[in-house]
Amino acid sequence: MKIKQLATLFLFSLILSVTFMSCKKNEGIAINQLVGKWYIYNDDPNLSVDGSVTYLFNADKTCIIHSTDFLSGHDTIISRTYVVGSENTVVTLFNKEGKYTEQYTIRKLTSKEMIWENASSTDGHSDQKLRRAND
């Protein structure tokens, strides 16, 4: 009888821990906060910044990427579409021909901050920290 009770208790504990871990996986990711304008920021005081990049995520699944090179004064605007997948933790961007351009795993997403890791080591992009733009 005690073995059955212990087995039941163990099974119940296992279910609770799995449930807790699966809930914790998305902690800090409020995917409903993605829509809006974000800029890449760097908090390393030893790194000089000579440009800026902003991402404007729209509710219609379009994204406008605006890059500015402060040294040359050159601006580049790129249009993309995006898909949110894998339990709302992955953002994949596509060009106007529908071809993959970049993919990020979201590690944190709040109303003010987003942290993502490059999900593909071959696309030439890097991990980023972004902050919501006020305009």
Go through the domains of the chain in sequence order and give each one's CATH number.
Answer: 31-132 (2.40.128.370)
**Residue 9's pLDDT is what?**
38
Rounded distance, CA 42 to CA 35, Å?
21
> Model confidence over 4-53: pLDDT tens digits?
543 443 433 444 444 444 444 556 799 999 999 999 998 777 766 788 99
Contacts of 5 (CB under 8 A, 6+ apart): none
- pTM for this prediction: 0.74
Q: What is the pLDDT of residues 91-127, one digit of tens each?
A: 999 999 999 999 999 999 999 999 999 998 777 788 9
Pairwise CA distance, residues 113 & 53, whole Å: 15
Spatial neighbors of 103 by CB under 8 A, at least 6 apart, are 90, 91, 92, 93, 118, 119, 120, 123
Give Dmax (Cα) for the chain: 79
